[in-house]
Structure 1
Amino acid sequence: MQGRVLGREGLPLCGRKRTAHALALHRESPQSTRETRAELCGLFMGTGRGVKGCAETRTAPGSIGGLLRPTWPAERLPRKGVERSGSKGEAGHESKRPKWGGCHRPGSGWTGLRGVSEASGAAGRGAAPPAAAKTWHPRPADAAPEPQLVFFGLSNQMVVAFKEENTIAFKHLFLKGYMDRMDDTYAVYTQSDVYDQITFAVNQYLQLRNTSVGNHAYENKGMEQSALTICQHFYRQGNICPGNDTFDIDPEIETECFFVEPDEPFHIGTLEENKLNLTLDFHRLLTVELQFKLKAINLQTIRHHELPDCYDFTLTITLDNKAHSGRIKISLDNDISIRECKDWHVSGSIQKNTHYMMIFDAFVILISLTSLILCLRSVIRGLQLQQEFVGFFLLHYKKEVSVSDRMEFVNGWYIMIIISDVLTVIGSILKMEIQAKSLTSYDVCSILLGTSTMLVWLGVIRYLGFFQKYNLLILTLQAALPNVIRFCCCAAMIYLGYCFCGWIVLGPYHDKFRSLNVVSECLFSLINGDDMFATFAKMQRKSYLVWLFSRIYLYSFISLFIYMILSLFIALITDTYETIKHYQQDGFPETELRTFISECKDLPNSGKYRLKDDTPVSIFCCCKK
């Protein structure tokens, strides 16, 4: 019976019944405050040994919400110097509560809702009691998504690789003279090159069956194949005379389009043989777009026992003359959509393997839903217990319970597990839809499953906290987090100032400062000491004033962030680490809640706290709701 609170008949109490029992005792007896302390001590500390249990079992400091609540036996924590704030110690002197500078006090952590989470602990979710701190059992949902994620990751990798390889193939097929990694520099500079590029792309489209080595085909619209569309966008009216420094232009944009059918018999030759009847006014021209649709089937999935997908490629070749600088940039954009093939047949056991995977996904969903329900129940019971304790404290002590003490009733691990389970369930449903070829949201599914797996692995930190060496590092990160967030908010203001300044001043002269996003990436790399010399060397010297400003800008940023801000950042964590080590040696400060519980003088099973209406003893007591 050790570790349980007993009713008046000597029978164990658990869950909300223990809480109601504790509060009822206060109303029945003049010794209610002392009895309530004993009941809460047995409830929260996970032991039924009253003051002795509270004194001999210490808990690691936790954060708001109970995110980190590892426990260890008292013999690992020296009791020298541990005093109760607000009461006199055994030596008769008034205790002093150590202060925690600027962040949540380390002493605010404790074991958490032992009683209310016993049922969910049976499922592997509940935190282990102090006596069993060395034994832990991972919940089933921790391991279940891993094989599922591996299979989906391999499938998603094949899909992405097929998309990228087709895009590269299309660039080589339809862009004249294209070479790899020419996306930023591929352009034409003469009128004849523009016409040659257009006629080359049209010719390649018409001869696709004879030139492409892939299984590409035209899109069918009924009995006919879709046509290639050529559109030019230009100003409605324009008379530009740079020699006289005069111009007359109407900024209204007009569009002209015509179509080329795949089955047209004629061959499009050079500019002189141009049968497209295409005339471009380069003074008014903005863009020329060639758009067409192709189809393909990804057959490589068969080797991995998956059904193939059918792909629709919407290709757009753009000749951009918006700058009118004498350089027309050329780009190819590939908009890809995946859908279920209409009529297919694959010999072998691929269909059977797909059914097995869907059964496994359904099993993962079932486990995650079970875990989700248990954790939701524990969180709800914790909130109910919080309300009861707040009302009790306000009624009998006329004091408001602090926010940190309130959050001790909410287990942050359960919140994280709930989020992980929700993401796993939604991601698994999407994965089943993808396997059934009724959905193609690979990216959404991968984000959901990947995030849920990340949260599962973060949950492993909870079990590492049962070991004192690992627990020291975990508590350091936990205690330093509030100050680190405040520090980062201040540093972010300086960082954003440098970002905007670099973008405005250096953007026209440096490739790494052309956009705000690129500037942020460049500066973050400089903070980590990456690519410093190249950043200095690539600065153009066309303007000596801007070049001099760039030197002052870069030197000041690097010196400020590396030598000052990063050093202060490290000092924050180091100071927190030393403080945690000091608390582990001399004892952690206690909150009002723990102080209230630790003042218990009678054992919960001493016979003073028994009710007449207790039900008979049952081996399923702790599983009752």
Structure 2
Amino acid sequence: LRMSHIDFMDDTNTVMRHKFLKNWNDDRDALVYPPSSGRYSVYTGADIVDQFAFVVYYSIQDDSFASFSYDTLKDQGIRTPVSIDDPRLQKTWHIAVDDIPPMEFCINRIANVTVYNNTYEFDVTEIHDCVLLKFTEKEVKEIRKNSSVLRELLKERHITFRPEDALIISKGILKFSLRTIHFSPVSTDQRPECYRIDVSVIFDNSRHTGQVYIYLSTVISYVTLCSGRVLHGGGIFLVSIIIFIIDMLVLLMCIASFVLCCRALLRAHLLKLVSFSLTSFSGGGVFLVSIIIFIIDMLVLLMCIASFILCCRALLRAHLLKLVTMEFVETVLKRKLSLSDRLEFLNLWYLMIVTNDIFIILGTLCKITIEFRFK
């Protein structure tokens, strides 16, 4: 991964914490020891509801100075790449409340707890419940005006944070997904890339002490559901000039290779016709023509060796990049890179050029050896 991607992921995590964790500040982003403040947490059921209301993400497209949008492409039947000006994609930037994908809230709890005076009964059967939270536009407006309204809305969906639930609920996880486009104009070789951000806000009550820890985690994954182009205007950029020069050098090398090969074929034909007369005329000496031909052969040999080294270097770097990518995928994504993905790192053009250079080098060496054997 390039540093711009690492910085992008780190910055996105920071933005998500500021966006969805109430009263989060810059001091909590700083990694210092000892920390300047305690763990981010709440202590009452009302605080949990307030934090819950703050996380409700229906205003992400209105008050965020970032290219966040809702994860709605999969729900619109889009299975092919779309451009940024595609009408189907434009709908995801300004979308009605009723079309916004629901959030998911999962609760880890035990079956039941009964406490009376000095007796208790714990049914420790573990239960994992998940509920899709779909709010109407009217409900969203009410939540924005008064966050306490959310308590009744959650109660209608069988989600409560009462004092008697403190020993029952161990953990609550609020999940939702967003999409964003990453583009860094500082890097001249980087194109805009699309990402999906899976956000999880965890309410950790596993200690049952009255202090509910809250933390946010994100999983940022690359997606291929969008594509497009980058317009540079009418000017000619330095990168374009460099690429043009490289292309011209490749073209000139190919033309030179074509001319040299034709020369070799023509020279072989002439050598067949005049080899004896040339030997008689030279009197056994080394002629200027032979020196020129030897110099040209050496140039061909050096060019092929340089081409061979550069292509092998490119293949080796691609192999090392593949190893790093495989290690990253296994460590972060917990899966192995498929064979088809690994083959993406193998450039068959370079492999063909390396094979061609090997034969040209061997042929040139044999040719020079044969010529000087009979001089």
Question: TM-score scaled by structure 1?
Answer: 0.32
The counterpart of 1:424, out of the listed 317, 320, 340, is 317
Question: Whole-Å Cα distance in 1 between the matches of residues 193 and 200 of structure 2?
Answer: 22
The counterpart of 1:194, out of the listed 28, 48, 58, is 48
CA deviations over 1:101-156 (Å, ceiling 9, x no partner): xxxxxxxxxxxxxxxxxxxxxxxxxxxxxxxxxxxxxxxxxxxxxxxxxxxx7xx1
SS of 1:211's equivalent? coil
Contact 2:71 2:179 in 1 (8 A): yes
| 1:402-441 map, 5 Å | 424-427=317-320
Contact 2:204 2:212 in 1 (8 A): yes
Is 2:12 aligned against 1:166?
A: yes
What's the counterpart of residue 24 of structure 2?
Answer: 178
Contact 1:369 1:425 in 2 (8 A): no
Is 2:196 aligned against 1:321?
A: no
What's the counterpart of residue 154 of structure 2?
Answer: 276
Runs of 4+ in 1 over 3 A off after TM superposition: 180-184, 261-266, 363-371, 427-432, 617-621
Question: TM-score scaled by structure 2?
Answer: 0.51
Residue 279 to residue 345, structure 1, CA distance change in 2 (3 Å): same
- More strand as a share of residues: 2
> In the TM superposition, what is the alpha-carbon distance from 1:273 to its structure 2 partner?
5.6
| 1:29-108 map, 5 Å | none
What's the counterpart of residue 222 of structure 1?
Answer: 75
CA deviations over 1:80-115 (Å, ceiling 9, x no partner): xxxxxxxxxxxxxxxxxxxxxxxxxxxxxxxxxxxx
What's the counterpart of residue 110 of structure 2?
Answer: 235
SS of 2:194's equivalent? strand
SS of 1:164's equivalent? helix
Question: Whole-Å Cα distance in 2 between the matches of residues 214 and 332 of structure 1?
Answer: 19
Contact 2:166 2:210 in 1 (8 A): no
What's the counterpart of residue 259 of structure 1?
Answer: 133
Residue 258 to residue 367, structure 1, CA distance change in 2 (3 Å): same
Question: Whole-Å Cα distance in 2 between the matches of residues 218 and 264 of structure 1?
Answer: 19
CA deviations over 1:53-72 (Å, ceiling 9, x no partner): xxxxxxxxxxxxxxxxxxxx
Paired letter, 1:254: H
Question: Whole-Å Cα distance in 2 between the matches of residues 181 and 339 of structure 1?
Answer: 33
SS of 1:163's equivalent? helix
Contact 2:183 2:190 in 1 (8 A): no
Paired letter, 2:106: C
Paired residues, number: 230
Question: Whole-Å Cα distance in 2 between the matches of residues 188 and 296 of structure 1?
Answer: 30
What's the counterpart of residue 367 of structure 1?
Answer: 309
Residue 273 to residue 296, structure 1, CA distance change in 2 (3 Å): closer
Contact 2:108 2:126 in 1 (8 A): no
The counterpart of 1:299, out of the listed 183, 186, 195, is 183
> In the TM superposition, what is the alpha-carbon distance from 1:276 to its structure 2 partner?
2.9
> In the TM superposition, what is the alpha-carbon distance from 1:356 to its structure 2 partner?
5.2
What's the counterpart of residue 246 of structure 1?
Answer: 120
> In the TM superposition, what is the alpha-carbon distance from 1:225 to its structure 2 partner?
3.7
Contact 2:111 2:126 in 1 (8 A): yes
Residue 270 to residue 341, structure 1, CA distance change in 2 (3 Å): closer
CA deviations over 1:429-486 (Å, ceiling 9, x no partner): 7999xxxxxxx9xxx9xxxxxxxxxxxxxxxxxxxxxxxxxxxxxxxxxxxxxxxxxx
Residue 369 to residue 232, structure 1, CA distance change in 2 (3 Å): same
> In the TM superposition, what is the alpha-carbon distance from 1:247 to its structure 2 partner?
3.5
Q: Alignment identity in percent?
A: 21
> In the TM superposition, what is the alpha-carbon distance from 1:340 to its structure 2 partner?
3.7
> In the TM superposition, what is the alpha-carbon distance from 1:288 to its structure 2 partner?
1.1
Is 2:215 aligned against 1:338?
A: no
Paired letter, 2:108: H
Paired letter, 1:165: D
Question: Whole-Å Cα distance in 1 between the matches of residues 208 and 104 of structure 2?
Answer: 24
Question: What do you get for the CA RMSD once the two structures are aligned?
Answer: 4.2
SS of 2:39's equivalent? coil
Paired letter, 2:127: I
Residue 620 to residue 207, structure 1, CA distance change in 2 (3 Å): same
| 1:537-576 map, 5 Å | none
| 1:488-499 map, 5 Å | none
Paired letter, 2:15: A
Structure number with greater CO (CA < 8 Å, separation at least 6) is 1
Paired letter, 2:170: L
Contact 1:228 1:261 in 2 (8 A): no
Q: Which runs of no fewer than 5 residues in structure 2 stay unpaired?
A: 30-37, 77-98, 248-303, 326-332, 338-365, 371-375
Question: Whole-Å Cα distance in 1 between the matches of residues 324 and 211 of structure 2?
Answer: 46
Contact 1:206 1:263 in 2 (8 A): no
Residue 342 to residue 265, structure 1, CA distance change in 2 (3 Å): same
> In the TM superposition, what is the alpha-carbon distance from 1:214 to its structure 2 partner?
0.7
Paired letter, 2:3: Q
> In the TM superposition, what is the alpha-carbon distance from 1:187 to its structure 2 partner?
0.8
Residue 215 to residue 365, structure 1, CA distance change in 2 (3 Å): farther
Question: Whole-Å Cα distance in 1 between the matches of residues 193 and 44 of structure 2?
Answer: 42
Residue 344 to residue 620, structure 1, CA distance change in 2 (3 Å): same
What's the counterpart of residue 192 of structure 2?
Answer: 308
Residue 315 to residue 264, structure 1, CA distance change in 2 (3 Å): farther
Contact 1:236 1:253 in 2 (8 A): yes
> In the TM superposition, what is the alpha-carbon distance from 1:620 to its structure 2 partner?
5.7
Paired letter, 2:214: I
Residue 431 to residue 178, structure 1, CA distance change in 2 (3 Å): same
Residue 197 to residue 345, structure 1, CA distance change in 2 (3 Å): same
Question: Whole-Å Cα distance in 2 between the matches of residues 296 and 248 of structure 1?
Answer: 45
Contact 2:172 2:202 in 1 (8 A): yes
> In the TM superposition, what is the alpha-carbon distance from 1:181 to its structure 2 partner?
5.2
> In the TM superposition, what is the alpha-carbon distance from 1:158 to its structure 2 partner?
1.0
CA deviations over 1:2-61 (Å, ceiling 9, x no partner): xxxxxxxxxxxxxxxxxxxxxxxxxxxxxxxxxxxxxxxxxxxxxxxxxxxxxxxxxxxx
Paired letter, 1:196: D
> In the TM superposition, what is the alpha-carbon distance from 1:234 to its structure 2 partner?
1.1
Is 2:163 aligned against 1:290?
A: no
Contact 1:228 1:262 in 2 (8 A): no
Residue 196 to residue 345, structure 1, CA distance change in 2 (3 Å): same
Contact 1:295 1:313 in 2 (8 A): yes
> In the TM superposition, what is the alpha-carbon distance from 1:196 to its structure 2 partner?
1.1
| 1:473-488 map, 5 Å | none
Question: Whole-Å Cα distance in 2 between the matches of residues 163 and 365 of structure 1?
Answer: 38
Question: Whole-Å Cα distance in 1 between the matches of residues 137 and 192 of structure 2?
Answer: 29
